[in-house]
Amino acid sequence: MTVYLVGAGPGDPDLLTVKAARILSCADLVIHDRLIDPRIFELVPPHAERIDVGKRPGWSATQNNINELLVTVGAGRGAERTIVRLKGGDPFVFGRGGEEAEALMAAGVLFEVVPGISAALAGPAAAGIPVTHRGLSASVTVVAGHREGYDDTNWDALAVGNGTIVVLMGVEHRRRIATALLAGGRLPSTPVAVIERATWESQRTIRTTLAQLGGVDVVSPAIIVIGDVAALSYVGVDAQLLSTTVISTE
Ligand code: SAH
């Protein structure tokens, strides 16, 4: 039995890889996170069992529980079943997929990683932001705004220069992040774009500045893009009609 660690992409089912779509279409069991666009489940056969192990208020499986569940179902006998561990974006970008792979390896369970399109890069693109636009930024750093029990981000170092910073899991900590980057020397006028639910039907982009980021109304999940490129909005005409953009004037 093989456990597939599958990246679901940022949301829009059209942004699944062909391989992810193929594996989902023959899944018998899907163990998934909370942040999966509901449209993706339409690809799963009706008979397939679905287990939501997403962390949410009032209930949350620990990472150990999830690892144990994967090992148990992966080591199970019986009919050949397709087991999918479905994770948002790419399974190895802040998805704790590495820990799940480690647990499966340690237990001798066969598994395969199916890479996905990470929201870290697809989110900005969906909002019309080229993260390394020539002349504005020659680098992009993907950083966690917060990690339980493990936070070694050097915001001072990130503040230097004009490279693009993409923050995941940063909504709750946006004020602290802005303060740290300003203290490190980033200009208060630095453009910022916050992309909520990128590529979901309800995608919304908020345009603001680093000075104002702390006071902006944002709903998770969202990606925070900091740097000169965040002022760009290269979306086609159709996308302009479809997507909501809010200019924050606070
Ligand atoms: N493995 C995922 C990231 C997991 S961390 C990936 O590669 O995309 C979870 C964080 O990713 C969220 O807190 C949010 O900051 C960001 N995120 C994931 N999907 C998103 C989406 N569709 N829109 C906005 N932010 C998203």
Place 77 in a pLDDT band, splitting at 50, 70 and 90: low
pLDDT: which is higher, 54 or 175: 175
pLDDT: which is higher, 148 or 93: 93
Euclidean distance between CA atoms 6 and 199, whole angstroms: 18
Whether pLDDT at 79 is above 60: no
Question: For position 55, what pLDDT does the model report?
Answer: 67
The 10s digit of each residue's pLDDT in 140-199 is 999 999 876 667 789 999 999 999 999 999 999 999 999 999 999 999 999 999 999 999
Whether pLDDT at 239 is above 80: no
Chain mean position to CA 7: 10
Residue 120 C-alpha to ligand 1 middle, in angstroms? 7
Place 137 in a pLDDT band, splitting at 50, 70 and 90: very high
Which atom of ligand 1 lies closest to the CA of 196?
24
Catalytic residue among 55, 105, 151, 156: 55
Whether pLDDT at 61 is above 80: no
Whether pLDDT at 241 is above 80: no
pLDDT: which is higher, 55 or 139: 139
Whether pLDDT at 250 is above 80: no
Question: ∠ CA 36-168-66 to the nearest 5 degrees?
Answer: 50
Which atom of ligand 1 lies closest to the CA of 200?
22
Kindly state the average pLDDT of the residues 33-44: 92
Enter the tokens of residue 74.
Answer: 């992966």
The secondary structure of the chain as a DSSP string is -EEEEEE-BSS-GGGS-HHHHHHHHT-SEEEE-S---GGGGGGS-TT-EEEE---BTTB---HHHHHHHHHHHHH--SS---EEEEESB-TTSSSSHHHHHHHHHHTT-EEEEE----HHHHHHHHTT--TT-TTT-S-EEEEES--TT-----HHHHHSSS-EEEEES-GGGHHHHHHHHHHTT--TT-EEEEEESTTSTT-EEEEEETTTGGGS---SSEEEEESGGGG-----HHHHHHSEEEE---
Residue nearest to atom 9 of ligand 1 (CA): 169
User: With contact defined as beta carbons under 8 Å apart, do 199 and 126 qualify?
Assistant: yes
Which atom of ligand 1 lies closest to the CA of 197?
23
Catalytic residue among 12, 37, 90, 169: 169
Euclidean distance between CA atoms 101 and 52, whole angstroms: 19
